Chain A
């Protein structure tokens, strides 16, 4: 199946590559969501290149770990990771959001190899992951289900329906990673509809909570590995992240939630990302 798990240093370089892919594909598409893709990049990279049990040549393998990017608008990070991992050729990245592409504006499980759930309407991927975890328990499978949700997504009521259910059924085969980047489409999360205190809320819903810097690859890897060992309750990794991470002019700017960079912006962004990993 898999290539051997990457070291932390290798993961950092792969994350940079994926960030470059994101910038390029959103630029070519002319629309899309770079900010929330860049904030989730380190998490998604660690999952696909180190933590998850997957086989890119056999994307429907019944015993694979499942991954769902419930914040589906950030699918550029998912598409880039899948391409880099070998699920499909990287040439597809240039077709994002175009007619006849396998890469829809929000991820479609029927079109994209490796996409385990169709997402886009916030909150639903989280519930779908819960359903996959319930199936795993019922059938005594040892796969793990990984779901990335956004902090704006926490405003969806159905997220809390799923949070209650995850604790009720003691789904220790379900780990959620909260990409806590502090911004949503319209503005800062704190201004639109405050969600804090985040860890306390999840603890109150009987989840195991791990808090990390979502851009520190050591912490990301360690938290993901720890989550697999927690028993009798689901885990949420509250990952403090920066929206637009890695591109100076995108960081913490709400406008980059859903906007494509120009050629000049793309060139600057790619240069900055390369510089960070010494390329």
Chain B
């Protein structure tokens, strides 16, 4: 442990918990095995109760997964402001739109596959087209529901939501930043899509994290390349960066929790200062964070770049960490991608 800390440059980190930095120093095979973890859906469930205390306009809509997301705790606390629509996501989304027209702030909660695919027509036409103030709280984002398999793995959720006009798309990396996102969404006038993890991810940050919708956060300094990641792949990126550091490659890591609106300024600064970029997400490579960053680079500052994401394939059931490894979005893949883009810098 002490040896590890000696090797590790703690000063390169911003906002990352000391426990995480220590863990990265101690063991890079499975550094976060022992650190505190939580599915970010539970952070949403906790945050929404606090929000409900502060803001009487906040209501929570469920579609029979309240016990999975734990929004049933909001229902116990505020029974009159909780509405369980049963297994009927389409009705829930359009009803949320109707509620928003009267000044309520509905958080419509379900799994991301149902929010972004089954009820997409309602999400587009009744929520985003009129720009109504509905917050879509979607658990099981990306391939984070490892064991549940493909029908519950929303590997397209960020792509789908990013393509809709008036959308704001957020995928927090851990529980504290997810809480901040849930609270920030209430202050944001208009629809917000929040993507949570089904499986646990480490507490990377604390509640003093400088979360702001549309502002990416540099959480690790580096000069040779930048990894831009979101949701569950931020912690994989930190592992990758540390592995690369031991090989003498200095890697910046950016938590790009907001896929839209994208923080173009921070991305271009990283491009100019490090000259190579790798994106990381447990979303498909088509249309998500990687695509968004690629679009910015191609139009403004073309440099070597590679996208880490699910590549035109459906995943499968399995323990979460094994699933992301098999489907190409774990720290090992990020390391390889960074080495490739750094080599291409020439």
Contacts and interface: CB of A to CB of B under 8 A. Distances in A.
Is the interface on chain B under 10, 10 to 19, 20 to 34, or 35 or more residues? 20 to 34
Interface stretch (B1-9, B96-104, B274-282): B96-104
Binding site secondary structure of chain B: helix
A8 interface: no
A162 to B, nearest CB: 5
B88 A128 contact: no
A128 B83 CA distance: 14
A134 B85 CA distance: 12
B59 interface: yes
Name the 10 nearest CB pairs between A and B, nearest first: A131-B98, A127-B94, A128-B98, A131-B95, A161-B91, A161-B88, A135-B102, A158-B90, A131-B99, A118-B130
B126 A164 contact: no
Given A121-B126, A158-B90, A127 B95 contact: yes
A131 B129 contact: no
A31 to B, nearest CB: 20
A164 B85 CA distance: 9
Chief secondary structure at chain A's binding surface:
helix
A134 B83 contact: yes
Contacts of A11: none
A139 B102 contact: yes
Interface in B67-124: 80-81, 83, 85-86, 88, 90-91, 93-104, 106, 121-122
Nearest to B94: A127
Interface string A132-163: 11111011000000000000000001100110
Interface of A: 62, 108-110, 116-118, 120-121, 123-136, 138-139, 157-158, 161-162, 164-165, 169
Contact of A132 (B86, B88, B99, B130): B99
B163 interface: no
B222 interface: no
Contacts of B85: 161, 165
Contacts of B94: 123-128, 131, 158, 162
A138 B88 contact: no
Contact of B125 (A118, A157, A164): A118
A126 B83 CA distance: 17
B125 A120 contact: yes
A131 B131 contact: no
B93 to A, nearest CB: 8
Contacts of A117: 97-98, 101, 126, 130
